[in-house]
Structure formats: structure tokens, C-alpha cells
Amino acid sequence: MHGLPPAAVERLTRAKRSGVRTSLLSAPSAAGIKAVGLEPVGEVMGCVVLSTVSQYRSFTGYRYGNMDAYSRPYLEALHTGYNTALDRLRAEASALGADGVVDIRLSLSSLGQAEEFLAMGTAVRAQSTTRPKSLFTTDLSGSDVAKLMLAGWVPLQVEWAGAANAIFTGIATQSQTSFYAGNIEVDAYTRLINHVRAGARTRFHDVVRKAGADGGIVNRMALSTWEPAEQVIAALAYVYGTAIAQFHRGTTTPASTLTIMPLRRQGE
């Protein structure tokens, strides 16, 4: 348990001493993982509070130039926060002797001038002598993990990717958003939103490929906008989900609830 926060060490020690196995899984999820030979060994959590670059300061002073240079510190803070929370969640799961963590929930909360990054899930262990080589993490529910494995795929790890950008609202944009403009497209806003959404999807694709996966299941795609300065509109898009690998070619997924983003063409 080296490297874990004292509160985490105390929680794990108490769980081992009591022998009580807690779980965040719903009844269908618990039944699902049991169907593929997994059992819950306890709920696990990873948390970190960071003093981050505020999104409202990320594009302050922006007018023209290299927009990536303005967004990079904010995006790096988000990546650091989520990755640290997930690393600590994995460390707790390893300390419990788990083979993976399912139904992971990521959240972000403001604490004054800081941000809390939180990852929570249920650690599971294989009920067999054949064990995974490394601990897996997924935000899929237990029942979806079962569907995935029965279709010949295994989860590898949770991935988060984001992209941010900003525009200077010139005269044309201001006229399109005026009270008297009516129902018309705001061209600059459309370009901004399309740009950040495409950037987030591309980066998710890249991190999934870097993990050595065959595909990625997108759990959530979200967008937020704000005004960091006068006549400046900024937008952040992010995607998170699970990188997956195929271990045999069998039938198609037995349910239509999973949306898979393939990284390889069939036959490769």
C-alpha cells in the first residue's frame, strides 16, 4: 500500500480486517460479472485535489495567435487530475488483490480555488486460476462487461481526452447574436464547437491506440462554454470511455447497447 494516502490505507486495512466486501454495483451488474467468472472484492476510490489553471484564466488576453498555447495549461491540469485519480484507484484495487475495476465513475468538483478529481468503482477478481496479466479498468457496468467478454472482447483501461479552443467575437459574430438577429446560424460558434468536438474525438482515438487497444467504447461526450474575457468565447469538449482488446473472433455483441469506435479495418 506504499504511496497511498493515509485515509486510503486506513480504509483498506479496515476492509481486510472486517472481511466485508462492499460494492457499488447494481443487482444486474453484480449478476453480470458473476456470469463471466468475476466477483466483487470491494469498492475503491482515487482522489486528488489540485490547484489548477482556472478555465476563466486560460484564454485571458487572447485575441489572435497560437490558441493551443492558451488552452494547453488547462488541458494538462485536467489530464493530470483524472490520471492521478485513476492511478490511485488502481493502487487501491491492487492492494485488495483485484484483477480489475468495473463501473468506474469520474467526477470533478470545485473546492474554492482548487478542483477535486474523483474516480470510484468496484474492484473485481477472477474466480479461476487463469488471471489477467495486468489490472484492467472500465467505466462499463458489470452487465456490459459480461456482454463484451462473451462477444470476445476484454476491457483494458479507462481513457479521458479533451480539447479546448477560443474565438474572438468580431463584428459579424456580434451581429448574428444580437437581439434582432432572428433564427440564423452563428458561423464562428459552429466552427468553434465543431473544432473542439473533433479535437476531443481525435485525442481519444490517439490515447486508445497508445494503450495498444483494438477499439474504444465511448461512454460520454460533453461540451462546456464560457467567456474568459470580453468578446472572447471559449469551449471545452471531452470524451471518455474504455479502451478494449479482442481476444477471439466470434459472434457479434449480443446486445445493441455498446457503441464501439473501431481502430482497425476488418482483416487487418
228-246 residue pLDDT tens: 777 788 889 999 999 999 9
- So what's the pLDDT on residue 227? 80
User: In angstroms, what CA-CA distances link 264 with 18, 204, 208?
Assistant: 47, 15, 12
Q: Reply yes or no on whether the pLDDT at 202 is more than 90.
A: yes
Q: Reply yes or no on whether the pLDDT at 16 is more than 90.
A: no
How many whole angstroms separate alpha carbon 78 and alpha carbon 208? 17
How many whole angstroms separate alpha carbon 38 and alpha carbon 75? 36
Q: Reply yes or no on whether the pLDDT at 256 is more than 50.
A: no
Mean pLDDT of the chain: 82
Q: Which residue has the higher pLDDT, 161 or 66?
A: 161
Q: Which residue has the cell 486495512?
A: 13
Q: What is the pTM of this model?
A: 0.79
- Please, are residues 113 and 74 in contact by the beta-carbon 8 Å criterion? no
The pLDDT tens digits for 46-94 are 999 998 766 655 555 555 555 666 677 888 889 999 999 999 999 999 9
Please report, for the chain, the start and end positions of each structural domain, with discontinuous segments joined by +.
Answer: 6-262
- Helix %, strand %, coil % of the chain (to 5): 35, 35, 30
Q: Reply yes or no on whether the pLDDT at 106 is more than 90.
A: yes
| Region at 73 (left for phi over 0; alpha for psi -120 to 50; beta for the rest) | alpha
Q: What contacts 108, CB < 8 A, 6 or more positions away? A: 78, 81, 115, 116, 117, 118
- So what's the pLDDT on residue 232? 80
- So what's the pLDDT on residue 54? 64
- So what's the pLDDT on residue 67? 61
- So what's the pLDDT on residue 257? 46
From 3.40.630.10, 3.40.50.300, 3.30.110.70, 3.40.50.170, which CATH number describes the 6-262 domain? 3.30.110.70
What does the pLDDT average to over 14-18?
A: 61
The phi and psi torsions of 65 (rounded to 5 degrees) equal 120, -155
- So what's the pLDDT on residue 60? 56
Q: Reply yes or no on whether the pLDDT at 255 is more than 50.
A: no
Q: Reply yes or no on whether the pLDDT at 144 is more than 70.
A: yes
- Please, are residues 159 and 212 in contact by the beta-carbon 8 Å criterion? no
